[in-house]
Structure 1
Amino acid sequence: MKAQMQKGFTLIELMIVVAIIGILAAIAIPQYQNYVAKSQVSRVMSETGALKTAIETCMMEGKDSSTDPVCDLGWTDSNLIGEGESEGFDTQDGLDVEISLADNTASVTATFGGNASAAINDETLAWTRSDTGTWACTTSVEAKYRPAGCGANEAEE
């Protein structure tokens, strides 16, 4: 009589596979969360950076946030920006745009909220225009989430 061969995996083999998957998940999930937070900061940097051209146009037309808050910035709400007050121009909560013709300066400050990662929630990203017309980006997020071209806030250094 021919011996019948059993087919399948042993319990030990299955436990080893589960352990390997657990180890990979323990490494992969935090790395993925860091990647998501960093990409969200980069996205907000890009979205708010796009306002620089509109702000320059408003300044050339002689409109600032204290005298003429009807300057059209062409802003579309972002689901990564939330909590906080919006001053000056009619934008969403968490986005503050200020233009000062007297000083020849401007600023755009975004506060992370809404659907932003918990690691960056309530942090800020700001574009600031100096009186010479140059723009600089600063942010309060941790260094590991900070995109290239955007430095730390001076208060954190």
Structure 2
Amino acid sequence: MQLTRQIGEHLVAAELGRLGYIAAPFAGNVPLYDLFAADSRGHAIPIQVKAINGGSWQFNADAFLDIEVKNGEQVVKGTKKLLNPKLLCIFVLLVERGKDEFYLFHLSDLQKHCVKVYKPRGRSSKNPDSRHCAVSPKEFSRFKENWELLESALQQ
């Protein structure tokens, strides 16, 4: 798991370099982002990176949704206000050398996905306390190799 994360962050940094950007990854765990990318003008943005070897990217729905438990049942009260809805996310599917896939989108896109797919749990669920949510490469195929988003983010 830790190795997958590290590989993903370094692959993103390398790909950014190939595209002519400067990438500065962080050695430790910065809560909201994993690296900075800058263009030749010095404009920089933070980037959140997540990597998987297969399957889907996992996350907690309560990062995006206001979830309350009433009488043992989860109730979604609405969406949470994101600190940085335009945060650029780059999710990586590790395939094999030279064939890895990059998915670029805003954090708000992940929140919209969560709103669409999250099923509140209740007493009859295997794990009624779970806030698990996931997104597969297929579900985010429209964001595959969406490098234009990086350039537009650096223009703002």
Q: Same fold (TM over 0.5)?
A: no
Q: Which has the higher strand share?
A: 2
Structure with greater proportional helix content: 1
Structure of larger gyration radius:
1
For this structure pair, what is the TM-score category when the shorter chain's length is used for normalisation? under 0.3
